Structure 1
């Protein structure tokens, strides 16, 4: 259970990145599968080359910004469908990631990482490490909440709510889309760099299917905890990552074949999408919404 919680909070930052594009920008970004590995590959290569783990992680995050910028630019400036733009970038990143690492798998077992002090102190795999990783995820959630309440963050939210209206108000929707997708992939790449250091290696296939995990985290979390207010939606995405990883761990502990995990992930997403439409659940959610007034729409007085 502790390992599942550690992994859940590790991947929570990735879930926040998916929330930014999927929910805030209404942008179905598939770059995630590639940018996650890009962050891991860049971080791992720099650590092997002697760079300090923190700086290597920062560089990996920057690589994610570049990946997201390419996807956003292909859509906003090139007029390419957002799904296709993400797919094109994701495919290109497969070769880029191989170029970065020089091979399909790059181990970090003989190099110091951000988790080395925790492992040497016997903290990794305990409730203390869970608390540390939860704090990191919570900081990410707070920063995202703060950013989305700034003037530019509100412009990004307005673009996702109604692009035509946002453009009529003088917002450069092309730039808000590009920036939003770049920031989303920065968080995904940051997560990739952290995961590479946590598990002790970077692998070319570590990002395959990750967008499904991200969507599962967002959808499951918001189906359970709601999303009527901004802070609630962000916190739900974070907690959804933890719940998703716990569900995976429960499935493995009950004899599910690890080869079936992708199928299990898809079924979790399907259940999270269909269950809220079930009549009793819809009535329960309507009662909850009536009890808690929704957050004012972007551009409306509070």
Structure 2
């Protein structure tokens, strides 16, 4: 039971990096970016292929981040320069990256069972089991990404990106080049998603061309669950909420699997869970109005 809890939390932390990328586009930039379903397996494909070829783990993850950033930039250029709607631009990038991922791997699946990964390195360095090593890597990676995001979005450039998402017209009035801000935002977001893909591939022991299916829904579930349960009082609190939301989502999935839900039904369950989570703010708002009305009636 303890190993199951540690493993679930560890996976939640690894996927939290992807959720932070989705949060950046969905909440900060106010863009529904579907290209994450292509950049997530792209990061996994690049990292797994390089590691399988005998290259350094750190080089593999760096190249995965760069590949994800390029994928996000393509979406951003389609949106800002060709004026293609962001949703459609993300779909076009996602479809194109499916073929790119196949070309990168040369096949549909690249195994990493006998390769040195960041997790085997952690196991050797600390003398711990794979489950604990995954937890250590998850904590360090997520904390590092969260800290850098908190610092960056407090700078002038980061604030300009946030302002673009809040009100692009007012940001332009203040002299902000909103096209550049959108490009930077999508670049950073998909770089984070690709990093998460690289870590998840190493944790799972393989990279698969279809592992990005449903990524956007998982990311949205993490963001919405975190917001509903832990609030959005400040940007720092928002980041922490997204990470905790990812962990809660993984715990919910582990619980329903333990209760006997068929794995094939997980996508349907996730879709229903996200729909419920998205409706919770409305339900809470109506409940607050009813409660206020009852209190006014008593007075």
Same fold by TM-score greater than 0.5: yes
Residue 180 of structure 2 corresponds to residue 175 of structure 1: yes
Matching residue of 1:248: 253
Report what 2:269 is aligned to. Answer: 264
Decide which of 140, 147, 168 is 2:145's aligned counterpart. Answer: 140
Q: Does 1:14 align with 2:21?
A: no
The answer for the alignment partner of 1:125 in structure 2 is 131
Unaligned runs of 5+ in 1: 288-302
- CA deviation vs aligned residue, 1:211-236 (integer Å, no higher than 9, x gap): 00000000000111111311111111
TM-score with structure 1 length normalisation?
Answer: 0.91
1:44 aligns with 2:57: no
Higher helix share: 2
CA contact (8 A) 1:275 1:281 kept: no
Alpha carbons 1:75, 1:85 under 8 Å: kept = yes
Deviations 1:200-221 (CA, angstroms, capped at 9, x unpaired): 1100000011100000000000
Say if 2:134 and 2:203, in contact at 8 Å, map to a contact too.
Answer: no
Q: Does the CA-based 8 Å contact 1:276-1:282 persist in structure 2?
A: no
Per-residue CA deviation, residues 40-91 of structure 1 (Å, 9 max, x unaligned), is 0000111112211011001001000000000001001110000000000000
Distance in 2 of aligned mates of 1:280 and 1:174: 35
Which of 217, 220, 226 aligns to 2:225? It is 220
CA distance 1:272–1:281, change in 2 (3 Å): farther
Map Cα deviations across residues 79-138 of structure 1 (whole Å, 9 max, x no partner): 000000000000000000000000000001121111113445333213x64244223212
CA RMSD in angstroms, aligned pairs only = 1.7
- Deviation for aligned residue 1:280: 7.2
Equivalent pairs counted in the alignment come to 285
The 2-side partners of 1:187 and 1:5 are apart by: 19
With the length of structure 2 as denominator, give the TM-score of the two structures: 0.92
